[in-house]
Amino acid sequence: MDGQELRPELGYISCTALGDLDAALASDRAGNLAAAAALYERILARDGANFRALHLLGLVRHRLGDHTGAAGLIGRALSLRADFAEGHNDLGNCLRSAGRVDEARLAYFEAIRLASCMAEAYANLGLVYLQEDRFDKAWHLLSRATKLESNRPEFWEHLAELHERLDQFRPAIRCWERVLTLTPDHRARPHIALGRALKELNRPDEAAARYSTAVAVEPDSAEAGVELGEFLHEQGKFDQAEAAFRAALSRQPTNDLARARLASILLGTLPHNDVDKIVARLDDPGTGRESRARLLFALGQVYEARGEHSRAVSCLREANALNLALTPSHLCFQPAEHGRFVDGLIRAFGPDFFSRTAGAGLNTKRLVFIVGLPRSGTTLLEQILASHSRVYGAGELLLCRRLFDSIPTTLESTASPVDCVCLLDSQTVYRQAKTYLVRLRALFDDRADRVIDKMPENYLYLGLLTAMFPTATLIHCRRDLRDEALSCWTTDFRDIKWANDPGHIAANFHDYLRLMNHWRTVLPTTIHEVDYEELVADLEGVSRRLLAVMGLDWDPACLEFHSTRRTVRTASVTQVRKPLNTSSVGRWKRYEHELADLFAGLPPATGRLSWVPAPGDSSALSNNPPVDPVGAVRGPGSTRDASD
């Protein structure tokens, strides 16, 4: 007859079950999850109410990827012992992995209620809020976890991620440095993260040292090699970047990101052997869809550079289709929803808003905002102007969008940001402007006379920007919409969800035009227009006019912009390292017939190409303010000279 033994954590348990349990735990520790699961199930076949076996089998199922089944098993265990705080925390992990976030949150709360010092539960609950972009709550919980157990490196990593999401790179650096003190085993990841943060703070030499250290401490890490290659590419060191990508591929030949990046550097000069390797990866059924999309975009660009346009189109059609399929439904671009958002902006930022907030903002000429659609020449223009000795190019900052999105929190409202605009008063606008400057200073210590915030999508927020900084310089980049559409469609944008579908591109372009026409009508300041086609045809003339607008003298270094050493982190990184040429002007004509569907829905391209309204658009050109000789558009009530 099977005897029994008393185990304090289990109560009385049969010797047979105890033997199976010990064997299961041994298999579990050895990583033999299938054997451990079989032994736990054998225990439960004899005793379905064995709390310990239910809990441990749930953990194994969770590690095997069966998160729903795991949650059910741990839930059964908790029905037998509801005061088991660790079990509630484990249940939260299973539910979070299964996408049942609200239930996970409740499980973590229960774990904390039962064990108020359980650091892991605070950390996991903080990750839930971080996932939801509820940063204040996430910071409170993750900080609490690090205080309860300050020797847990993963807690400091989570806190570092939070700071990175908020562009708080100095505190992120402190967190990663703490991680390094707590991890005696040398890992590349903290050094990579430090390299990214230092890069964002415009400390490229220190960033380079961190990336090199990452490669040194983990020589077999392809990830470290890819990160180093991307950094060198952004610095314009293409030969060194190529060497880094090739080194990463020598360590991991199936690293499709490194292979795609290599192709994006060399384009038409990519050796045939490398092209064959891309094709082989595409023919491999084991190549994942995300990797396949990356490789197809890269191969399409290589074919285009070689003049093989039909083959390029074939690759790019599949690449865009894959990116569409890979986008979760809740993140897909919704043309109707975006159209309503633009409608809301037009209603909210009307003459009444600017009358109500007149004089509220900060008068500073230091700020320069370059806006426009992606691939309209914004990166090129920033590179040209940032070559001036008194200008600093800060790149694509998220500060304005985050300020706009924070309006409801600032006003303690539950309405959407656009619906809260009517509640903005002079004091709130002033606070928003101060917040922008504080966050800008946290990112950059640079003392340049002019700082460029080059975020293309800030065209959506020109109303708020004008209220905050009425004397800032606003520059709008425009381009033939057919070239614009083609360039967006052929670029592997992971975070621009409308760029993969011709219908989405057309809808977004229509909304962009009508919003820009609205800004030209109502802004009490000047928008300085720059046409890409004119810029590449008359670099010096356009540059001189813009520098005069910014209140700066001419600097011949602007003509040598391709030699300026600064970090460029956009899809245009390769183009801005070369002298100007007109090869991209009228590029759409090479694809006029093969991509007729891409061009068909665009606003008609006649006259000033970027400004012909869509049929039936109420904001007709005849109602827009006239363009002055330097390409500046004056809004109603604007009395400033273009050189202010």
* Least confidently predicted of 36-40, 62-66, 108-112, 122-126: 36-40
* Least confidently predicted of 39-48, 377-386, 476-485, 491-500: 39-48
Report how many domains make up the chain.
Answer: 2
CA neighbor of 380 nearest in space, from 530, 193, 514, 529 = 530
581 assigned to some structural domain: yes
Q: Which pLDDT belongs to residue 19?
A: 61
182 assigned to some structural domain: no
- Percentage of the chain beyond pLDDT 70 is 87
Q: Which residues pair with 14 in a beta bridge?
A: 4
Q: Which residue has the higher pLDDT, 60 or 644?
A: 60
Band (pLDDT 50/70/90 cuts) for residue 9 is very low
Q: Which pairing describes strands 4-7 and 526-531: parallel, antiparallel, or unpaired?
A: unpaired
End residue of a domain, out of 115, 138, 166: 115
296 assigned to some structural domain: no
Mean pLDDT, the chain, rounded, equals: 86
The residue range of the domain holding 513 is 359-634
The DSSP annotation for 448-473 comes to -SEEEE--GGGGGGHHHHHHH-TTSE
Q: Which pLDDT belongs to residue 200?
A: 84
CA neighbor of 257 nearest in space, from 284, 213, 221, 292 = 292
Q: What is the CATH number of the domain that holds 412?
A: 3.40.50.300
Question: Residue 612: is its pLDDT beyond 50?
Answer: no
End residue of a domain, out of 98, 115, 132: 115
Q: Which two tokens stand for residue 593?
A: 């017939």
Q: What is the pLDDT of residues 271-317, one digit of tens each?
A: 999 999 999 999 999 999 999 999 999 999 999 999 999 999 999 99
Q: What is the pLDDT of residues 137-156, one digit of tens each?
A: 999 999 999 999 999 999 99
Q: Which pLDDT belongs to residue 627?
A: 35
Band (pLDDT 50/70/90 cuts) for residue 564 is low
Please give the backbone phi and psi of residue 511, each rounded to the nearest 5 degrees, phi first.
Answer: -65, -40
Q: Which two tokens stand for residue 449?
A: 């006379």
Please give the backbone phi and psi of residue 12, each rounded to the nearest 5 degrees, phi first.
Answer: -80, 130
Q: What is the pLDDT of residues 405-423, one digit of tens each?
A: 999 989 999 999 999 999 9
Question: Residue 90: is its pLDDT beyond 90?
Answer: yes
Question: Residue 618: is its pLDDT beyond 70?
Answer: no
Q: Which of 170-174, 439-443, 617-621 has the highest mean pLDDT?
A: 170-174
Band (pLDDT 50/70/90 cuts) for residue 404 is very high
Band (pLDDT 50/70/90 cuts) for residue 605 is low
Number of neighbouring beta carbons within 10 Å of residue 239: 9
Q: Which pLDDT belongs to residue 625?
A: 35
End residue of a domain, out of 115, 139, 159: 115
642 assigned to some structural domain: no
183 assigned to some structural domain: no
586's torsion region: left (phi>0), alpha (psi -120 to 50) or beta? left
pLDDT mean over 25-43: 77
pLDDT mean over 428-446: 87
409 assigned to some structural domain: yes
Side by side, the strands of the sheet bearing 450-453 are 391-393, 450-453, 367-372, 473-478, 526-531, 632-634
- Percentage of the chain beyond pLDDT 90 is 66
23 assigned to some structural domain: yes
Confirm if 94 and 62 have CB atoms less than 8 A apart. yes
330 assigned to some structural domain: no
pLDDT mean over 348-368: 94
pLDDT mean over 496-508: 95
- How far from chain centre, in Å, is Cα 199? 15
Q: What is the pLDDT of residues 210-255, one digit of tens each?
A: 999 998 888 888 888 898 999 998 888 889 999 999 999 998 999 9
Q: What is the CATH number of the domain that holds 86?
A: 1.25.40.10
pLDDT mean over 203-216: 90
Question: Residue 318: is its pLDDT beyond 50?
Answer: yes
Q: Which pLDDT belongs to residue 306?
A: 94
Integer distance in angstroms from the first to the last C-alpha of the chain? Answer: 97
Band (pLDDT 50/70/90 cuts) for residue 636 is very low
CA distance 343 to 619: 13
pTM: 0.77
Question: Residue 7: is its pLDDT beyond 70?
Answer: no
